[in-house]
Structure 1
Amino acid sequence: MQKKIARRAFAPNQMTEGPSPFHIARFITRCFFKLAIFLEVAGSALGDDYERLESATKRWLDLEQRIAEEHNAWKSQRKVLSQSVKVLEASIGELTEVLDNLKVSAEMRSSEFAKNEHTYEDQEVARAYYAGKLDEFTELFLRFRAFVPDYLEEEMNTAQEKLEMADPIALGARAQILIAAFTRVEEFNRSVTMDYVSRELADGRDVMVSVLYWGLARAYAVDPQGTIAWELKPGLEGWVWHDRPEYIQQIHELVQIHGQTRPPSIQSVPGKVFHELGGEK
């Protein structure tokens, strides 16, 4: 097509000898126009390829950098993991040894448990026996509380409160309470004890009376002036007071001797002595 246009542009006119200036100018203009279009298209395509190449190169460099960083991190972690594996292997060995020891210990414990089971059954039989005995002593203590002397009443009340608060299953604790109470009673029964109590007389007067206990067998009481005397005997509902006007002097002197306000002397006071077979003498 271009060759045809060129031939037409430079073909001699039938009426003239050569091409006209107009045709030459138009031909040159068309050539420059086509060249400009070609250069514009080529430049645009070349610019797009350069941008794509630059972007791909940048991504490739970033990827290489990340690969290097990951590789370095992996090398560092590999060393740590290697050490951790060694520690875990050592721990596994120790735990295996401990497990073997525990198995041996469990077998020994199983054998001991079988023996202890028989021992436990024997202990349950013994416990039932001692629980029954402890109940008997508790009942005996409660019966004794009915005729305890005034001197021991507060201590016995405390012991009874402890028994009521104690766990029935705790045989040891209950036994200690009863042993302490009966021990105190035994000490009192083996000694001569002086006590002072308020007593209302027949005329309505209240006087402080000296009471001399001979253990749990008997007691003698007298007013401070030595004008009234009593003999006390234990009963089912407490100690019973009996007037003893005929023994006022003897009982009064007996109280003074115990209080070390007069020299010792022999005094005759009412009382009964029981021999081993239970009879009176």
Structure 2
Amino acid sequence: MKKLTVMVLMSVPACLLAQPDAVDENAAKINPVEDREMIRQWVQTEQLASEELASWQTDKANMQELLELYQAELKLLSEEIDQAGQAAALVNEEKQELEADLAEHRDNRRYLAENLVRLQPKLASVAVRFPEPLKTELDADLVALNELSAIDKPREVLQAMIAVISGAARFNRSITIADSIDTVDGKELASKVLYLGLAQAYYVSGNGSNAGTGKPSADGWQWTAKPELAGSIRQAIAIYEREAQPQLTELPLTISK
């Protein structure tokens, strides 16, 4: 556009020389002010175009940097997704293992509960045969054994059963001396009871007027008065408590089949 303007301006003298009349006519139409304004506007337009081009080149460079940055982030994101996929596979494998362990645990729990339901009443019936000192020692466990449901609380029932069995076994391996208060003819009479494990017991009052033997039964301990054994029972208790010199003492023993 600039070249065209220059060529037109340069061609004006030739026209004036060739056609004087035409030059005079056209010269009257030329307006220098308008021509200068037009040239100024054209130059301004060229400057704006140059500035826009420079701005575009700058923006293009910035966009290229952003594009490279986005591509790098996209690559990192893809790597993280791949790693997440691998981690998800491991998590899924661990989940399957945990589900298998949980299923096995549930089967074991159900098997335990079924056996506890079968054993609980049997052990409760056996506990009726326990002597009073042992019942007192195992009171909380016996309450749990009789009142808790093996289906709803198998752990608690199992703990109670283990405590009862362990306590009974320990008592059965030892000799136990216990104090007892009995009512005879309307009077309270203090006695001492010697237990030979869970199989046999002997009792004697403090003054020796009452004595006898005891043995377990389905309804609890049954006591039989045998006053003639008072001396032997008192001697056996004194020896066990180290209040008398050791010596041979004979006491009757009944073995139940």
Q: TM-score range by the shorter chain?
A: 0.5 to 0.7
Q: Answer yes or no: is 1:188 the counterpart of 2:166.
A: no
1:197-241 superposed Cα distances (whole Å, 9 cap, x missing partner): 10111x321111101111100110001122221101111111111
| Change beyond 3 A, Cα 1:98–1:162 | farther
Higher gyration radius (CA): 1
Match of 2:113 among 125, 131, 134: 131
How far did residue 267 of structure 1 move? 1.4
- The 3 A distance-change label for structure 1 pair 146 and 92 is farther
Structure 1 counterpart of 2:132: 150
- 8 Å CA contact 1:137–1:178 kept in 2: the answer is no
Tell me the equivalent position of 2:248.
266
* Amino acid of the structure 2 residue aligned with 1:172: R
Question: What RMSD in Å do the two structures reach over aligned CA positions?
Answer: 3.2
Structure 2 residues without counterparts, runs of 5 or longer? 1-68
Is residue 126 of structure 2 the alignment partner of residue 177 of structure 1? no
Deviation of 1:170 after TM superposition, in Å, equals: 4.3
Query: What CA deviation, in whole Å up to 9, does each residue of 1:153-175 have, x standing for no partner?
Result: 22333113344357844433332
Q: Give the secondary structure class of the aligned counterpart of 1:180.
A: helix
Q: Evaluate the alpha carbon distance shift between residue 103 and residue 243 of structure 1 in structure 2; reply closer, same or farther with a 3 A threshold.
A: same
Distance 1:191 1:130 in 2: 31
Query: Which residue identity is paired with 1:181?
Result: V
Following the alignment from structure 1 to structure 2, what is the Cα–Cα distance between the partners of residues 146 and 244?
A: 24
Secondary structure of 2:247's counterpart equals coil
Counterpart of 2:181 in structure 1 is 198
Question: Partners of 2:164 and 2:74 in 1: how far apart?
Answer: 61
Is contact 2:113–2:151 with CA below 8 Å preserved after alignment? no
Q: Which residue of 1 aligns with 2:192?
A: 210
**Structure 2 counterpart of 1:231:** 213
Counterpart check, 1:243 vs 2:222: no
Secondary structure of the 1:147 match is coil
SS at match of 2:92: helix
How many residue pairs get aligned? The number is: 192
Residue pairs, 1:1-281, within 5 angstroms: 97-163=79-145, 164=147, 168-201=151-184, 203-273=185-255, 278=257
TM-score normalised per structure 2? 0.63
2:165 alignment partner AA: F
* Bigger RCO of structures 1 and 2 (CA < 8 A, at least 6 apart): 2
CA distance in 2, matches of 1:204, 1:183: 38
Q: 2:170 is aligned with what amino acid?
A: E
- Give how far 1:92 is off: 7.5
- Name stretches of at least 5 consecutive residues in structure 1 with no aligned partner: 1-85
Separation in structure 2 between the aligned mates of residue 178 and residue 89 of structure 1, nearest angstrom? 68
Provide the rounded CA distance (Å) in 1 between the counterparts of 2:160 and 2:75: 56
Pairwise CA distance, 1:148: 1.9
Q: CA deviation at 1:104?
A: 1.3
Which residue in the other structure is 2:16 paired with? none
CA pair 89-140 structure 1, distance change in 2 beyond 3 A: farther
